[in-house]
């Protein structure tokens, strides 16, 4: 690997759909796979969430034979964020070391519990004992920071979501990526903790499941709006903001319109689409 590749900080979307995989024609441009984001920096592979998008990412990792140490950061355990774990190819290879991280969630004692909890009958035919990778499971306590390498630092905050969720800020080489999904905001009220957390980020990806108009009818669902993401991004001097976690009913046409509005106010920003790749 060249020195320049080592210093690169790249983020790629493998799944941007929230709630449920949506292989519908009118969603083809943004993609129908559920939540999965790949981060490459300092020669490391970091994955944020393991929705259905992680299947193709696993194929890529296996074919590239580049990253044998993988950190998977789970925001929480709703199906759209974990359902791809049993289909992630590197989990079935002894060549890989895979560290799986998650914050404390209601109803689960630890991160292994979270994975074994849905990989069991009658929901799934086999349990995590089928994995052959050298995998380990880590719990994140509230507001914990940790290092993936001496150069890669990760900060966390808890989010407002049914059962709990965790946001991650990955810092490398004086650049930062803030990954903030799933979370709800109260109309007209700033979540100051998130705004402080994303301060000056080079890239901010946010739960923009809804629009401000739709929010009242989805109260307590635990989601936010693309407008709220944009307001926070501007106040926090974020360089680029991408609306993410698109609802299954959100069409490509609507997303194009949302992107137009976002990019008018924050050039270089927009909506997250599958296969979209951003160099920080």
- In the complex, which residues of this chain contact Zn ion (CB under 5 A)? 18, 78, 80, 182
Which of 67, 246 has the CB closer to Zn ion?
246
Give the residue nearest to Zn ion (CB). 78
List CB contacts of 28: < 8 A, sequence separation 6 or more.
Answer: 252
Give the max Cα distance, the chain.
51
The burial of 147, by beta-carbon neighbours within 10 Å (0-12 exposed, 13-18 middle, 19 or more buried), is given as: exposed
Q: How far is the CB of 187 from Zn ion (least distance, A)?
A: 20
Which of 159, 280 has the CB closer to Zn ion?
159
For the four alpha carbons of 6, 275, 171 and 97, in that order, the dihedral sign comes to negative
Which of 202, 209 has the CB closer to Zn ion?
209
Which of 67, 245 has the CB closer to Zn ion?
245
Q: How far is the CB of 76 from Zn ion (least distance, A)?
A: 6
Q: How far is the CB of 209 from Zn ion (least distance, A)?
A: 8
Q: How far is the CB of 87 from Zn ion (least distance, A)?
A: 18
For the four alpha carbons of 57, 123, 181 and 97, in that order, the dihedral sign comes to negative
DSSP state of 109: S
Q: How far is the CB of 75 from Zn ion (least distance, A)?
A: 8
Other CB atoms within a 10 A radius of the CB of residue 139 amount to 17
Which of 22, 202 has the CB closer to Zn ion?
22
Alpha-carbon gap, residue 72 to 76, rounded angstroms: 12
List CB contacts of 8: < 8 A, sequence separation 6 or more.
Answer: 40, 41, 279
The CA–CA distances, whole Å, from 105 to 38, 76, 159, 269, 279 equal 23, 7, 11, 32, 32
Q: How far is the CB of 172 from Zn ion (least distance, A)?
A: 25
Give SS3 for 244. strand
Q: How far is the CB of 159 from Zn ion (least distance, A)?
A: 9
- DSSP lists the bridge partners of residue 157 as 167
Which of 18, 128 has the CB closer to Zn ion?
18
Q: How far is the CB of 271 from Zn ion (least distance, A)?
A: 16
Which of 18, 86 has the CB closer to Zn ion?
18
Alpha-carbon gap, residue 86 to 119, rounded angstroms: 8
Which of 149, 249 has the CB closer to Zn ion?
249
**Look-up of token digits 């979370």:** 183
């Amino acid at each position: 690997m060249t020195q320049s590749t080592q210093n690169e900080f790249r983020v790629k979307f493998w799944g941007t759909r929230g709630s449920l995989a949506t292989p519908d024609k009118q969603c083809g441009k943004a993609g129908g796979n559920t939540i999965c984001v790949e981060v490459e920096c300092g020669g490391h592979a970091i994955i944020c969430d393991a929705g259905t998008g992680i299947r193709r990412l696993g194929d890529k990792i296996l074919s590239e034979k580049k990253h044998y140490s993988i950190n998977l950061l789970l925001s929480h355990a709703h199906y759209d964020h974990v359902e791809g774990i049993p289909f992630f190819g590197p989990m079935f290879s002894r060549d890989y070391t895979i560290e799986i991280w998650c914050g404390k969630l209601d109803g689960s004692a630890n991160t292994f519990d979270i994975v074994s909890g849905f990989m069991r009958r009658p929901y799934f035919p086999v349990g995590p004992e089928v994995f052959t990778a050298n995998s380990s499971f880590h719990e994140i306590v509230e507001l914990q920071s940790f290092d993936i390498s001496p150069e890669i630092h990760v900060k966390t905050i808890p989010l407002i979501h049914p059962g709990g969720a965790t946001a991650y800020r990955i810092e490398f080489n004086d650049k930062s990526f803030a990954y903030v999904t799933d979370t709800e905001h109260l109309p007209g009220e700033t979540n100051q903790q998130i705004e402080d957390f994303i301060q000056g980020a080079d890239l901010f990806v946010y739960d923009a499941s809804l629009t401000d108009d739709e929010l009242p009818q989805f109260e307590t669902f635990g989601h936010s709006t693309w407008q709220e993401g944009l307001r926070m991004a501007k106040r926090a001097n974020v360089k680029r903001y991408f609306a993410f976690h698109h609802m299954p009913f959100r069409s490509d046409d609507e997303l194009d319109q949302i992107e137009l509005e976002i990019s008018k106010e924050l050039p270089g920003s927009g909506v997250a689409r599958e296969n979209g790749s951003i160099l920080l």
